[in-house]
Structure 1
Amino acid sequence: MHNIFSDSNQIGTVSGFSELVHTDFKGERNALCWYRNLDGDFNEIVAKLKIKENITEVYPKDLLALQLSEKGNIAREIILNDLRLLTDFGASPALNLLKCYERDDEFDFISTDVYSFHVDRSPIATDTFLCTYHGAASDIISNAQAKQKILIPEIRNKLAALHDGPSEEFEDFLKENYFDLHYQALPHAVPVNLGLGHLWRLAVDHPQQQVLPCIHRAPIENKGEYRLLLIC
C-alpha cells in the first residue's frame, strides 16, 4: 500500500484497526497510520455541535441527537465506529471540539504547552491514538530532527537558575515540571502533517517502551475554524 506516509522510516502504514493496534513499533518506527480517505460531511457535524468552552468533549449521545444530511450521517457513523473500536480495545477515547488549547507563556525561553513539540509519558504501557476529522491537523517529527530542550545549553542554564533546590534534585525538577518532554526542531527538520481522517497510533514514553517516543505537536488552529479531534 503506497501513500504519502509510506516513504518515511518513522511511519508504518496499516490497512485496518486490528493491524493498527497489533503491529509492533521497532527501530525508527514510532508512529503507525491507518490511512483512510473518509467519505462524509464532518463540517456539518462541527457546524451543528455547540462549543461550550475552548475544549468541549462531545459524547455519542450528542452526535446521535444531531439532525444530519446523508453525508453528515455517514461522517457520524465513522466517528461512532472509531469510538467503539477504541473502547472495545480497552482505550478511553475522547472526541473533542476544539477552539484552542491553553497556551503556556510563563517563560519566554521554554514552552510546555501542546503547541510545542513534545512526547507523551505514562507510568504504564500505553499508546496515544488520534484522528483529526475536521480543521488543522497535528504534526510529528523524527527523533533525529529534534533536540530535547533541556539539553540546549542556554535553556538548561535558565532552568538551573529557576531551580532553587540542591543540584542533585535538578533532574527531578525538570521531570516534575514536564520540561524534559519538550523538543526543539533542528533547522533542517521537516515535520510530517498527520492529515485528515487517518487514525494514528503514536509511541509513548513508558517503562516497557522499546522505541523512542513519538515527538508531536498540536497545530495552530485555522482562523475561525474549529477542530474535531478524537484522542486517547
Structure 2
Amino acid sequence: MSQKFSNSDQIRVVSTFSDLVHTNFKGEMNAICWHRNLNGDFKEIVAKLSLKENITEISAEDLIALQLSEKGKIAREIILNDLRLLTDFGASPSLNLLKCYERDDEFDFISTDVYSFHVDRSPIATDTFLCTYYGAASDIVSNSQAEQKILIPEIRVKLKKLHDGSDEEFEDFLKENYFDLHYQLHENAVPINLGLGHLWRLAVDHPKQQVLPCVHRAPRENEGEYRLLLIC
C-alpha cells in the first residue's frame, strides 16, 4: 500500500503532522510528505459508502454511521483523525468519494481540467493538502521538468486566435480562463506518484508565496474503482 519517498530538491519527507504544517517551503522544495504506513481496510469503507454524483462529499457523520469490521474501524479512525488535525490547524478538509472529475475537451490543444498537469492559485496565503486512501493516486513533477503551456509558441498562437480583444488584454484573458495554470511536461520528465496513505502539502501560487507552486495532476481512475480522497 505504501510507497517509499526520500528527501530531494523538490520533496521533504517528515514523520509528524506538526512537521508537515510547520516546515517552510524553500528553494526548489515545494512538496512536503508526511510519510505513513497505514493499517486498516479502506476498501471496505469505499464499498459501504454511496456515490450520489461523480464526486460525493463524505461527512464525518457518514463515516461514523457505517457498520465496519475491526480493520474498517481502524481505517475510519485514521480518516477522522486526519480531518480533525487539519480542521484544528485552520484548514477546511473535504473527504470525497470520487468516480471521476469533469473533463475539459473543448479544445484539442489545451485542457484546463485537473487531469492536466497544473498548479493551484489562491488570492490568500494557503497550501493544498491531499491524501488518497484508496484508488489511483495523484502525480507531481518538478518545475524544471515542465513548461507553462501558454509559453509554448504553437499553443500561444492558437490562444491568441481565441482571444477577442487587444494584446494588452491577452494576459488577463489567459488568467481568467485558467490557461496559465496548466503545464506541458518535457520529454524526459519523470512524474512522481504520491502513493496511498501519505498526507501531502503542496505549494500554491499566491501573493506571498516564496517558491514556485507545485505542478500536479489528478490520476486517470482505475477501471471500475472509486477513489477515496481527502483534499483541502
TM-score with structure 2 setting the length:
0.98
Residues 30-70 of structure 1: per-residue CA shift (max 9 Å, x gap): 00000000000000000000000100000000000000000
Q: How does 1:166-205 map to 2 (within 5 A)?
A: 166-205=166-205
Aligned partners of 2:150, 2:195: CA distance in 1, in Å? 30
Residue 217 of structure 2: aligned partner: 217
Residue 132 of structure 2: aligned partner: 132
Aligned partners of 1:147, 1:20: CA distance in 2, in Å? 28
Residue 81 of structure 1: aligned partner: 81
Residue 187 of structure 1 deviates from its aligned partner by 0.3
Q: How does 1:135-146 map to 2 (within 5 A)?
A: 135-146=135-146
Residue 71 of structure 1: aligned partner: 71
Aligned partners of 2:64, 2:139: CA distance in 1, in Å? 30
Residues 3-46 of structure 1: per-residue CA shift (max 9 Å, x gap): 83214210001111011000000001000000000000000000
Q: Does 1:117 align with 2:112?
A: no
TM-score with structure 1 setting the length:
0.98
Aligned partners of 1:94, 1:4: CA distance in 2, in Å? 25
Aligned partners of 1:33, 1:85: CA distance in 2, in Å? 15
Give SS of 1:86's match: helix
Residue 6 of structure 1: aligned partner: 6
Aligned partners of 2:188, 2:4: CA distance in 1, in Å? 20
Alignment-mate amino acid for residue 121 of structure 1: R
Q: Does 1:23 align with 2:40?
A: no
Aligned partners of 1:213, 1:7: CA distance in 2, in Å? 18
Alignment-mate amino acid for residue 62 of structure 2: D
Q: How does 1:45-60 map to 2 (within 5 A)?
A: 45-60=45-60
Give SS of 1:156's match: helix
Aligned partners of 1:125, 1:158: CA distance in 2, in Å? 33
Aligned partners of 2:31, 2:22: CA distance in 1, in Å? 13
Alignment-mate amino acid for residue 137 of structure 1: A
Sequence identity percentage: 82
Unaligned runs of at least 5 residues, structure 1? none
Alignment-mate amino acid for residue 154 of structure 1: E
Contact 2:7/2:13 (8 A) holds in 1: no
Aligned residues: 230
Q: How does 1:35-54 map to 2 (within 5 A)?
A: 35-54=35-54
Residues 125-181 of structure 1: per-residue CA shift (max 9 Å, x gap): 000000000000000000000000000000000000000111100000000000000
Residues 94-122 of structure 1: per-residue CA shift (max 9 Å, x gap): 00000000000000000000000000000
CA RMSD of aligned residues (A): 0.7
Give SS of 2:131's match: strand
Alignment-mate amino acid for residue 186 of structure 1: H
Unaligned runs of at least 5 residues, structure 2? none
Residue 34 of structure 1: aligned partner: 34
Aligned partners of 1:222, 1:6: CA distance in 2, in Å? 26
